[in-house]
Amino acid sequence: MDKKRSKLWGFFTQTKDDKAKCDLCHSLYSVKGGSTTNLKKHLMKKHRSSYEIIIPCSMSDEAVLEAPIPSTSASTESTNPVIKKSETISQQTKLSAFIKRPVGVVREKKINDLIFKMIVKYLQPFSVIEDAGFKDLINYLEPGYKMPSRYILSNTLLDAQYSDVQKKLKEELESAKYVSITTDGWTSRATTSYQAVTAHYLLNWELKSALLGCFECHERHTAEYIKNELYSLLLHWSIQNKIFVCVTDNAANMKAAIRLTTYEHLPCIAHTVNLVVRAGLQDCGLGELIKKIKAIVEHFHKSSIANKKLFAMQEQLRPNQKPLKLKMDVVTRWNSTLDMIERVCLLQEPLEASLGILHNPVENLSEGEWQTLPEIIKILKPFKQLTEEMSSEKNVTVSMVLASTESIIRIFHSLDTNIITDTGKKLANKIITEFKSRFKNCYRHPVLSKAALLDPRFKKLAFRFDASSYESAKDALKTELQNEFNFHKQSIEPNENESTLAISTGDTDADNDSIWKDFDSLAMSASASNSIVSSSIITMRQYLEERIIPRNECPLKWWQARAILYPELSNLAEKYLSVMATSVPSERTFSKSGQILSERRSSIQPKRMEKILFLNMNQRFLP
């Protein structure tokens, strides 16, 4: 029988060397050439009840179909052997249907792990295993499997997997040279405060992200308290000396907390952009216009009649396009406000027609307001693109900040001729003024400037409008590069100075030469220092003279190919290019928190939620 078709393989596991192991008694049998005859004989002799379960599947359907049809006379007895065998098998099947094939320990553990992984990955409540439908499904697929209790899953297995993933993550962090972190706070519906901390680093020139922890805050969020909790978590992972920068939002307590540490603070770019856009929308009198748009959208969301009418008008006025729904914004996300405005603007014609037919149940926008919407979209869209690109965890983002800010400024300079409404002009002026104010010091930020220089896509191009900042960044990077050269020299040649000094002075006339001992030592130190400075200057010049690569190419692959050519400089690239430009990774943790704290488990304990979040965000380590 073919392995892919034979039901025998439900009781055997194929091993190496063309053998199969019985799941019931662990006996080994040869299946060389794909033959399952030995398996069938073993099952028939040693596990008769299990063998009877699969007998109907082994019987040829054609044999039954092609057998002569017996007489329907009550006095006629069937003599067809195939029919008799079929009847016997049918009787055996009825008996064997009550026999549940036992599940081996290994298979049982695998099923337990898969159920647990499903719960963690999709943030299902542990009570899902008690749902009748889930039980029926498992019982049908694996009748002999005994479902673990909800307590076992949510305590024993949760603790075991949490411990195992922690161990794996710790081993990975030990391999990282440099680690950057992001952190953000959140308050649940039950008014419980949490703080999330994520780690970001490079391994073999591949970006890695991990949730270090999401802990409950038991005190006021003072700078001192946040600093102490952060240090405690980093000590737990033994990475406190690998951290060099922390990304947070612009909250005063967060900035103060990082200042109390030895780490560099990098304000979240997405949060800063959010402040820029919010200031523009609030200060330009657009609040009332946005309220009118929200009222229209809310009406069509709540009224099924209005929504159907909008769909009908779209089919009539836009027959070749799929009908679209209006989008409602979320108060905390300005991006969603832009999405709402874009959709309303796109559906202006069918929307106005629907409102007219429905006798204007809500106030429509004026002609001037409709004219303003495309300009608002044109002004805000670059910031949406910037936020989305900077929020990626899979791509290098921190090195893009300087070039992106320059691009935004250039876009706004060209907008002057395209914006004609007073509201649009006021919004554009307010936003670009706010943007320049909040990003004016980004060229001086050590992490942003060094990352830009170390990205082969940007280098000097990121400083097109600030030559002095370019020179400052280059000098700072050169100094750090000298430290790398010095460290590398000391690590591979710890006794070079002593041995060279001994050779240069010789062993003769030691007493006469002793007056030159300090001088020779100083001369050698100066020579070594000059050598390191020269090496760093040459390396920097060679790197900066290399051609700029296209913006859509991966800078990490570029560095991976040139790490041998620039070993010391590549260490710095590995350090700075792993930094996230935003604290969005920590914020994503809290979007998962909201899913966990659903109505089905609103009373979940904080410690348990922390473990579930940790496993969900680090699920790549799950078995």
DSSP, collapsed to helix, strand or coil, labels residue 220 as coil
Q: b vs e for 528-543, b when ≥16 Cβ sit within 10 Å of the residue's Cβ?
A: beeebeebbeebbeeb
d(CA 120, CA 113) in angstroms, rounded, equals 10
Asked whether 92 and 587 are in contact (CB, 8 A), the reply is: no
Residue type, 312: A
In a domain, 430, yes or no: yes
In a domain, 555, yes or no: yes
Structure tokens at 244: 């060099």
Indicate if 293 and 407 belong to the same structural domain: yes
Q: Could you tell me how many helices (H) and strands (E) the chain has, helices first?
A: 27, 8
Q: 249-289: per-residue pLDDT in tens?
A: 999 999 999 999 999 999 999 999 999 999 999 888 898 99
d(CA 201, CA 237) in angstroms, rounded, equals 14
Strands 264-267 and 19-22: unpaired
In a domain, 592, yes or no: no
In a domain, 594, yes or no: no
Residue 515, CB-side half-sphere exposure with 13 Å CA sphere:
1
In a domain, 591, yes or no: no
Indicate if 474 and 435 belong to the same structural domain: no
At CB < 8 A and 24+ separation, what contacts does 239-243 make?
239/173, 239/176, 239/179, 239/199, 242/173, 242/176, 242/177, 242/178, 242/179, 242/201, 243/179, 243/180, 243/181
Indicate if 235 and 293 belong to the same structural domain: no
Indicate if 191 and 146 belong to the same structural domain: yes
In a domain, 22, yes or no: yes
Q: b vs e for 546-561, b when ≥16 Cβ sit within 10 Å of the residue's Cβ?
A: eeebeeeeebbebbbe
Strands 264-267 and 243-248: parallel
What is the number of domains present in the chain? 4
Indicate if 300 and 346 belong to the same structural domain: yes
The alpha carbon dihedral of 448, 451, 457, 460 has a sign of: positive
State which H helix or E strand residue 313 sits in.
helix 304-317
User: How does DSSP classify residue 290?
Assistant: H
Asked whether 478 and 542 are in contact (CB, 8 A), the reply is: no
pTM assigned to the model:
0.78
d(CA 529, CA 447) in angstroms, rounded, equals 26
Phi, psi angles (nearest 5°) of residue 206:
-125, 130
Indicate if 526 and 622 belong to the same structural domain: no
Indicate if 319 and 255 belong to the same structural domain: no
Q: 351-387: per-residue pLDDT in tens?
A: 999 999 999 899 999 999 999 999 999 999 999 999 9
Contacts of 367 (CB under 8 A, 6+ apart): none
d(CA 586, CA 196) in angstroms, rounded, equals 6
Indicate if 377 and 239 belong to the same structural domain: no
In a domain, 1, yes or no: no
Secondary structure, 3-state, 83-112: HHHHHHHHHHHHHHCCCCCCCCHHHHHHHH
Low-confidence ranges of the chain (pLDDT < 50): 1-4, 57-79, 82-87, 89-96, 98, 501-503, 505, 508, 599
Residue 64 pLDDT: 35
Which residue has 């706010």 as its token pair? 434
Indicate if 542 and 412 belong to the same structural domain: no
Distances (CA, A) of 335 to 280, 284, 431, 453: 14, 18, 15, 30
Q: Give bridge partners of residue 179 from the DSSP assignment.
A: 243
Indicate if 54 and 140 belong to the same structural domain: no
Contacts of 111 (CB under 8 A, 6+ apart): 103, 142, 145
Indicate if 619 and 547 belong to the same structural domain: no
Residue 1 pLDDT: 43
Secondary structure, 3-state, 325-385: CCCCCECCEHHHHHHHHHHHHHCHHHHHHHHHHCCCCCCCCCHHHHHHHHHHHHHHHHHHH
Indicate if 418 and 559 belong to the same structural domain: no
The alpha carbon dihedral of 114, 393, 606, 261 has a sign of: positive
Write out the residue range of the structural domain in which residue 292 sits. Answer: 279-440
Contacts of 344 (CB under 8 A, 6+ apart): 293, 296, 297, 326, 351, 373
In a domain, 243, yes or no: yes
Residue 8 pLDDT: 79
